Amino acid sequence: MAVITAKKEISSKSFSRWFLGHLLANPLNLVLIFVGTSVSILIRMLIPVFLGQALDQAIIDQQNLRTNNEQLVILRDFVFLIFFLGILRFIVGIVTSIANEWLSWTSQKRIREEFFNSIQNKPLKFHDSVRTGELMALATNDLSQVGGLISPGFSMMADVFISITIAAFLVLTLLNAPQLLIMSIPFFIVYLWTIFSYNKKMAPISHTFMRKWSAIATAVQDNITGAEVVRAFAEESYERKKFMEYVLDFRDTWYKRQILQARYFPTLILFATTGTAVLVGSVLILRGELTIGTLIGFTGILFTLIGPTYIISFAVMLYNGGLAGARRIYTMEMKEIGEDVSENNSSSIGNIQGKIVFKNVSFQYPASKGPILDNISFSVAPGQMIAIVGPTGSGKSSLTKLLLRLYDYSGEILIDDVNIQKFPLESLRKSIGLIEQDIYLFPRSIRKNIAFGARDADEAKIIQAAKLAQAHEFITEFPKGYDSYVGEGGSQLSGGQRQRVALARTFLTDPRILILDDSTSSVDSKTEEEIVKAINAVSQGRTTFIITHRLSQIRRADCVIVIKGNKIVAKGHHSKLISQSADYRRIFGKYAVLPPLENRETVENGGGT
């Protein structure tokens, strides 16, 4: 499994820039959240301060022997003030919450969109090395963790730090009690240290947490994709056991995270600060250096810190989870970027003729040990049909993938004498129709699959394409016809049906160059006939590469290329090769079993050379 080791692959600086870029994309929103949170905290702290001042006032009034009526008026004003502050805080709270959620959702949306686009633009070698389950976990779980970090994670964390700043400000100004502030400083150093060290311990656990979640997603993906194989081999119980191992592994990390969270308790420090403040404050009151109201205000402020402190451990968890998720997403986005590196993006492929030249092309997959193709050269005139034959694993499919620039290679590939590196990728790929060996259909209707590359094609065109691809007949036999659902990857269709739907799909996009990686050789003679008809119709007037075991197709080809041991060992027309190439005769002999061949004798006699 591709495990993302974030720290090794990306620099913290570039990650921070990326992440801040997403956050700061809504600066007004951030300001609103900051101001809203600060106002909420200020009101929360003003209430005990005013309470203390009211108490002091009451004491002074008693000493000054004010009338009950006068005292009641002061009390009424105080109640009104508290009431007004309460309402104000309620409104500010709602606005801040909305701003928070808005920021979270817009950031998530933007990152999700960016992630999706980045995955769409990755070269195939990226998909060769990465697990689908992992990508799915990133796009869902990791991303929602990022959302949690932004809201409520950030505001919860910010709450503590803004609270401390405002508290210090109020103690110095409204309460005018610098002694109490100085007394609290050591406690707050320990308080902050606790939070930071907890945060430091939480970071690696959060990363492991996300990784283990991905492992579960990947295991689920394996089982769903391989459902048929698992059942066919009756391996359900083994697969279940393996899956449970991932789940339990995840649970262990979850426990670790919860235990760590439970162990950190900065609230204790807050209680210790309050206790000490009461003690020191009482002495100062007795000495006449502090009023009772000030002490009440101060302890009240400390009490308002209890709430945010209680949730700080949760906030730190959210913060780290989100950061780990963001880092994993960014790391994935940074892998294998920049597929479209056309030397000159402006030159459009336009109306091409379809001449193709391979010049000393060599290629190997990132994962393979040696070359898959070694110094391949050949040329094809516009409209010709080239059959590629060779033993299994000789690189036939790989060769055609290079034409679409699905992988990097050395040497040159030219279309109409222009290096394909100069064409914009999209335009290059749109002019080549690829029917892969393993045909993939989207789990949608047949109609949508046929119209995949030409979404605006009308019904008549879709039916015409299906007819040419010999697909119309079997499609209309389905109860839902063109609306029939094809299943995951096209699993509800037979191989031959899938192939014909793919032919229709390619036909509709009308590419100048066609690549047909045809693996269905063992079909009944009626289907064989239909497929050949379909292929002939689709390849009409296009430069066509056909990788096939079908003798009738090979014979029709203008040129046959024989690949063996990474090299072209023979090329030319079938009639020439059959007499001149021992390699060709060997391969040909193998395929000649079905259907019977007129040259069988020659092949068998010459096969051993």
Ligand X SMILES: Nc1ncnc2c1ncn2[C@@H]1O[C@H](COP(=O)(O)OP(=O)(O)OP(=O)(O)O)[C@@H](O)[C@H]1O
Query: For residues 477 and 467, what is the distance between their CA atoms, to the nearest angstrom?
Result: 13
Site string for ligand X, 93-132 (x = CB under 6 A): -----------------------------------x----
Q: Which amino acid does the sequence have at 258?
A: Q
Q: Which is nearer to Mg ion, 38 or 398 (CB)?
A: 398
| SS3 (DSSP) at 564 | strand
The answer to whether the beta carbons of residues 419 and 344 sit under 8 Å apart is: no
Which of 273, 313, 320, 398 binds ligand X (CB under 6 A)? It is 398
Q: How far is the CB of 397 from ligand X (least distance, A)?
A: 3
Under the binding rule (CB under 6 A), the answer on residue 368 touching ligand X is yes
Q: Which is nearer to Mg ion, 52 or 395 (CB)?
A: 395
Indicate which of Mg ion, ligand X, none lies near residue 392 (CB less than 5 to 8 Å, by partner kind).
ligand X
> How buried is residue 215: exposed, middle or buried, by Cβ count under 10 Å (0-12/13-18/19+)?
buried
Q: Convert 272-289 to b/e letters by CB count within 10 Å (16 or more is b).
A: ebbeebeebbeebeeeee
Q: 379: which strand partners?
A: 357
Q: How far is the CB of 123 from ligand X (least distance, A)?
A: 11
Under the binding rule (CB under 6 A), the answer on residue 376 touching ligand X is no
Instruction: Pick the closest to residue 285 from 52, 49, 54 (CA basis).
Output: 52
| Per rule CB under 6 A, count of chain residues that contact ligand X | 14
Q: Which is nearer to ligand X, 360 or 437 (CB)?
A: 437
Q: Which is nearer to Mg ion, 375 or 397 (CB)?
A: 397
Cα distances (Å, whole numbers) of residue 495 to 343, 398, 434, 441, 476: 39, 21, 16, 11, 17
| SS3 (DSSP) at 77 | helix
Indicate which of Mg ion, ligand X, none lies near residue 393 (CB less than 5 to 8 Å, by partner kind).
ligand X
Query: For residues 433 and 544, what is the distance between their CA atoms, to the nearest angstrom?
Result: 9
Indicate which of ligand X, Mg ion, none lies near residue 352 (CB less than 5 to 8 Å, by partner kind).
none
Q: How far is the CB of 469 from ligand X (least distance, A)?
A: 22
Under the binding rule (CB under 6 A), the answer on residue 394 touching ligand X is yes
| SS3 (DSSP) at 581 | coil
Which of 11, 14, 117, 437 binds Mg ion (CB under 5 A)? It is 437
Under the binding rule (CB under 6 A), the answer on residue 377 touching ligand X is no
Q: How far is the CB of 120 from ligand X (least distance, A)?
A: 18
The DSSP code sequence of 135-157 is: HHHIIIIIHHHHHHIIIIIIHHH
User: Taking CB positions, which residue lies at the least distance from Mg ion?
Assistant: 397
Indicate which of Mg ion, ligand X, none lies near residue 128 (CB less than 5 to 8 Å, by partner kind).
ligand X
How are the residues of the chain apportioned to helix, strand and coil, as percentages rounded to the nearest 5? Answer: 65, 10, 25
Place of tokens 């014979």: 555
Under the binding rule (CB under 6 A), the answer on residue 187 touching ligand X is no
Q: Which is nearer to ligand X, 108 or 394 (CB)?
A: 394
| SS3 (DSSP) at 177 | coil
Helical axes 178-225 vs 267-286, angle rounded to 10°: 170
Q: Interacting stretch for Mg ion, rule CB under 5 A, among 31-39, 65-73, 426-434, 435-443?
A: 435-443
Under the binding rule (CB under 6 A), the answer on residue 395 touching ligand X is yes
- Per CB under 6 A, contacts with ligand X among 418-457 are 437
Residues that bind ligand X (CB under 6 A): 128, 365, 367-368, 372, 390, 392-398, 437
